[in-house]
Chains A and B, each alone.
Chain A
Amino acid sequence: MTAGHGRRRAPDVLTAPRDGRLLALPARDAATWRPPAPPALPRASVLPEEPPHTPDQPASPDTPSPDGGTRAPMDALRAALAGHARGEPISDALVESLRRVSRDARTRGITAERLLIDFKLLWYALPEVRTLRQQQQSDGLAELVTLCIREYYKPGP
């Protein structure tokens, strides 16, 4: 963009995309800027596709997703991960969601490798995580994993 069009240029606006760098966007662009869409996942994933939003008919926790899984485990996992990123303690919901993901994965033949990718996609897509530095993101994930393993193996009541 160059000056000299005969009218004053709007001041640039600083905005922070996912990698934490500040970008200078023209004001007219900043109003409409959206983060880029996440990459498409292979179909053999436990991450459910987003269904059409129907406010009058909220989805049941066990509503099957279009790829045959259930939304509830990964939705609960996403919520629990976000809570951890905000500093909240590990909840029973997180452990229960991991167990459900495990059952779902075994039933559908989803490998640990695929789960690892899905878990990382969930973690690094969280807005709470995007604002962290790269090392903080990695350290936070390692800490979370240790907590998850501990809770996962904790004997039941």
Chain B
Amino acid sequence: MTPTSSRTRVLVIATDPVVGALLGMLLDPAQYEPVFPQHGERPEDALARVRPPLVILLDGAQEAARSDLFLARAQRSRAALLLFAPTGEAGATPATAGTRSVPWIALPIDRAALSRALGEALARAAAGSTWSVAGTILGGLLLPPVVKSSVLAAMSLLG
């Protein structure tokens, strides 16, 4: 049995429990430990409880991907995010991922490709290239582009 402490905890968030379980089984057991929200637990609460270095949002969890609260908490905890979407229904995911600057990947996927994607997401987070919470929040507001860019610049100065 692989020691838990040596593995990276991955929070898997999915609306469909079967999809979540399948993806959890696809994680390389030598490297990753899948963790899931408890029954009825909100994604942001699971994030606060587990504090994982990596979060996988499956197609059914698009609401979490669009949640400013969730993304703000993920950013604060420096967790890497990765969105997954089925190949045939990937339309909404790239749009969400593009707005948030979150990497996404299409399902189905094999274990090797999944490990590569997780490794890249972790490396991306470690390098400080995270998603844009501010940009997304502002993106949803009807503000002139000049105002948005000014606010974003001010927020970036504030760190």
Contacts and interface: CB of A to CB of B under 8 A. Distances in A.
A152 B109 CA distance: 12
B86 interface: yes
Interface in B97-125: 107-111
A145 B111 CA distance: 9
B72 interface: no
Interface residues of A, number: 30
A133 to B, nearest CB: 15
A149 B23 CA distance: 8
Given A101-B18, A102-B18, A111-B36, A150 B25 contact: no
Interface stretch (B9-17, B75-83, B135-143, B147-155): B9-17
A99 B16 CA distance: 10
Interface in B7-56: 12, 14, 16-26, 29, 34-40
Given A119-B21, A138-B29, A102 B38 contact: no
Contacts, number: 87
Interface residues of B, number: 30
Contact of A112 (B24, B86, B89): B24
Contacts of A145: 22-23, 25-26
A149 B86 CA distance: 9
Given A112-B14, A112-B17, A152 B110 contact: no
Contacts of B14: 112
Nearest to B16: A102
A114 B39 CA distance: 10
A120 interface: yes
B87 interface: yes
Q: State the main secondary structure of chain A at its contact with B.
A: helix
A142 B25 contact: yes
B5 to A, nearest CB: 19
A45 to B, nearest CB: 12
A115 interface: yes
8 contacts: A106-B17, A111-B39, A112-B12, A138-B29, A143-B110, A146-B109, A150-B107, A155-B88
Interface of B: 12, 14, 16-26, 29, 34-40, 86-89, 107-111
